[in-house]
A and B are shown apart, each in its own frame.
Chain A
Amino acid sequence: MKILVLISHVPDTTARIAFTNDNTTYDATGVQFIVNPYDEWYALVRGLELKEAQGGTVTTITVGGAVTEPTIRKALAIGADDAVRVDCEPKDGHDVAVQVAAFAKDKGFDLVLAGKETIDHNGSQVGPMVAELLDLPFISLATKLDVANGTATAERDVRGDVEVVECPLPLVVSCAKGMAEQRIPNMRGIMAARTKPLQVVSGTACETLSTSVKFELPPPKQAVKMIPADDAGKLIELLHTEAKVI
């Protein structure tokens, strides 16, 4: 089975969020970048498990400049066989999808796995857009994924229910919590990652369909109103009469 996993390079979950250039650009100064957790913990690890059980290859693809390479090496250290970096600065989610689809289109991947969203743009767009551009079926927000006899079976949480779906390969799946457990790369993996193939391809032209023109931070919270524990019932009263939320 040939598996392609989309790997996004994102600020660490604890990174300070600030903007420069009159609030038009994310300020990455001093920020540690990581593999997007959904891509790493769920998509990549499940891809590796499927490969280990059934044979095949796991290739990762990242759209971005050379700064993303340490993140790509991390994915290789966790166990991917090889990696592709599309060398361009994507303008929006659509641009990322166009770059991924342009690379994947004639490579015969059986399974394309994406995280359910990135923790910086949170768009949930790239997976379904890649599916559309490759004219492939798409299973969104899968929490379990198995493949047998050329057919994928997945579970999804839908409106509080669990749905079991089936789809013949090839297809695109977006991966959410439940699908796999995080894997910490070991020393051997980290050493091996240094020499695994990382192919750099140039991007294709893509029209920009949307842009984030300005960012803002939420207004600071008002001071918390404390209620003594022995009068805890007062909280319910205040939520009703003052906050008016119950």
Chain B
Amino acid sequence: MSVLVFADTRGAKVPKNTFETLTYARKIAAKEGSTVTLATFGDAATDKLSALDANKVIIARSLGDADSQQLTRFVAEVAGKESAKWILFSHDDTGKAVAPRVAARLKAGEVAGATTLPNEQGLIKRNVFSGKAQAWVEVKTPVKVVSLLPNSIPVEAAQGSATVEEYSGDLGAAKVTVKATHHAGEGIPLPEAEIVVSGGRGMKGPENWGPLEELAKELHAATACSRPVADMGWRPHHEHVGQTGVAIRPNLYIAIGISGAIQHLAGVNGSKVIAVINSDAEAPFFKAADYGIVGDAQQVLPKLIEAAKKLNAER
């Protein structure tokens, strides 16, 4: 019996959410007295894989830009071989496409976007109504599929000494093929960011984003925006957060010139700490904030940048 983790290990650095999923797996394995197997694909070096906190790594090297059908066949087959009772994913781009497919293929119940480990009754929590409520989910099947919402549990994964096995089965050809990848920019990708600095219509125009970007840089933060800001073309669409954009849950969300409409809050209310800068003391966002400043964005921003620079110089 084992806990199976699926993760993408391609690229220079193993992303943080892989360590989160491995931590989750370790905790379940410890409770159930089982081992952790990691299923992955691509060209990662063997020593990089064996350093991960798993007992065994199974890698399908024949898969490069694999599509969700190939990955589903792969994970389902490994799950069968390893008699996995738990199949864990990160609720990221790949996990969102593969976890539900694996669940449907194996007729296993799925918790999509889990935010907790199972409690004593085996129930797992997830966000519903765009973060305005949470649900405790019971999975009724013996095999359970969970995709873990990034930034939900602290990483505890240790240095591992996993055995690495090469998978050699036939997974068929990819039907979805990647034709090109355009690098969108130098900044930190929004869904992975621990700190996010976000601007709304109160920023008054795209020409005023310089200081906001500078603050983000000083704080190692990603930048985001409200929906009208993306709709007016002041900022790219992928920065739009909220109910109809990206949902994020960073450790810190700094909202500048954003009123705090319910649809905006829905995408950011999972943030651990929220700081709001708005010229209107009555702006609804202050009710959802931990820290607030009533003031003009363009006057407050330079003060924040200066303080951030000072802090960076001190540490």
Q: A and B: real partners?
A: yes
Residues of A within 8 A of B (CB): 11, 13-14, 17, 19, 37-38, 41, 92-94, 97, 119-129, 131-133, 135, 137-141, 143, 153, 156-168, 171, 177-178, 207-218, 221-222, 224-229, 232-240, 243, 245-246
**What's the Cα separation between A141 and B195 when bound, in Å?**
23
Q: How far is the CB of A219 from chain B (nearest CB, A)?
A: 11
The contact string, 1 if C-beta is below 8 Å from chain A, for chain B 126-152, is 111111111111111100000000000
Taking a contact as CB atoms under 8 Å apart, the answer to whether B128 and A243 are in contact is no
Query: A161 is contacted by which of B111, B112, B182 (Cβ under 8 Å)?
Result: B182
- Given A210-B137, A211-B138, also A225-B292 (CB < 8 A): yes
Q: Is B61 an interface residue (CB 8 A)?
A: no
Contact indicator A226/B294 (Cβ below 8 Å): yes
Q: Which residue on chain B has the smallest CB distance to residue A225?
A: B291
Contacts of A123 in B (CB 8 A): 100, 110, 112-113
Please tell me if the beta carbons of A215 and B128 are within 8 angstroms of each other in the complex. Answer: yes
Asked if residues A122 and B128 are in contact (CB atoms below 8 Å), the reply is: yes
B51 beta carbon closer than 8 Å to chain A: no
0/1 per residue, B88-132, Cβ < 8 Å to A? 000111001111110111011111110000000001001111111
Residue B31 CB within 8 A of the other chain:
no
Query: Does B184 lie at the interface of the complex (its beta carbon under 8 Å from any beta carbon of A)?
Result: yes
Interface centre among B185, B194, B230, B266 (most CB of A within 10 A): B266
Q: Give the top 7 A-B pairs by smallest Cβ distance, nearest first.
A: A229-B295, A160-B189, A233-B307, A209-B109, A210-B109, A236-B307, A232-B303
Q: Could you list 17 further interchain pairs (A-B, Cβ under 8 angstroms) beyond the known A41-B244, A164-B179, A224-B290?
A: A93-B100, A93-B110, A97-B100, A122-B113, A122-B247, A132-B104, A133-B104, A137-B175, A141-B97, A156-B93, A162-B181, A167-B176, A177-B230, A209-B107, A214-B123, A226-B291, A239-B252
Chain A, residue nearest B314 (CB) = A240
Identify which of B180, B184, B243 contacts A119 (C-beta below 8 A): B243
Task: Report which of A140, A167, A177 forms a contact with B97, defined as CB distance below 8 A.
Answer: A140
Measured between beta carbons, the chain A residues less than 8 angstroms from B225 are none
- Most chain B CB within 10 A, of A133, A138, A171, is at A138
Centre residue among A124, A160, A171, A238 by max chain B CB count within 10 A: A160
The B188-209 residues at the A interface (CB cut-off 8 A) are 188-192, 194-195
- Compute how far the CA of A176 lies from the CA of B225 in the bound complex, rounded to whole angstroms: 16
Q: Which of B33-41, B42-50, B67-75, B158-166 contacts A (4 or more CB under 8 A)?
A: B67-75
Q: Which chain A residues border B181 with CB–CB below 8 Å?
A: 158, 161-164
Task: Please determine whether A121 and B275 come into contact, CB atoms closer than 8 angstroms.
Answer: no
Asked if B245 and A138 make an inter-chain contact with CB atoms under 8 angstroms apart, the answer reads: no
* B28 interfacial by beta-carbon distance below 8 Å: no
**Which chain A positions have C-beta within 8 A of B136?**
212-216
B110 contacts A212, CB within 8 Å? Answer: no
Complex CA–CA separation, A139 to B98 (angstroms):
11
Chain A residues with Cβ under 8 A from B310's Cβ?
Answer: 233, 236
User: A140 near B96 (CB under 8 angstroms)?
Assistant: yes
B222 to chain A, nearest CB (A): 8
Inter-chain contact A239/B93, CB cutoff 8 Å: no
CB pair A165 B175 closer than 8 Å? no
Contact residue among A127, A165, A210 (Cβ-Cβ distance under 8 Å from B177): A165
Cα–Cα distance between A234 and B277 once the two chains are bound (Å): 13
Q: Is residue B63 within 8 Å, beta carbon to beta carbon, of the partner chain? A: no
Which one of A122, A207, A224 contacts B107 once the chains associate, using CB atoms below 8 Å? Answer: A207
Q: Which residues of chain A are within 8 angstroms of B137 by Cβ–Cβ distance?
A: 210-213
26 pairs, CB–CB < 8 Å, chain A vs chain B: A17-B129, A93-B100, A122-B129, A129-B103, A137-B175, A138-B97, A141-B96, A153-B179, A160-B187, A163-B181, A210-B137, A211-B137, A212-B136, A217-B134, A222-B290, A224-B289, A224-B290, A225-B292, A228-B293, A229-B299, A233-B307, A234-B307, A235-B275, A236-B304, A236-B307, A245-B252
Q: In the complex the two chains form, is B287's CB within 8 Å of A218's CB?
A: no
Chain A residues within 8 Å of B6, by CB: none
What is the CB-to-nearest-CB distance from A77 to chain B, in angstroms, rounded to a whole number?
Answer: 20
User: In the complex, how many angstroms separate the beta carbon of B114 from the nearest chain A beta carbon?
Assistant: 11
A119-B129, A119-B130, A237-B311 as given contacts; A128 in contact with B238, CB under 8 Å: no
Question: Which residue of chain B has the shortest Cβ distance to A210 in the bound complex?
Answer: B109
Does residue B240 face the partner (Cβ distance < 8 Å to A)? Answer: yes
| Complexed CA–CA distance, A207 and B101 (Å) | 17
Q: Is the CB of B304 within 8 A of A232?
A: yes
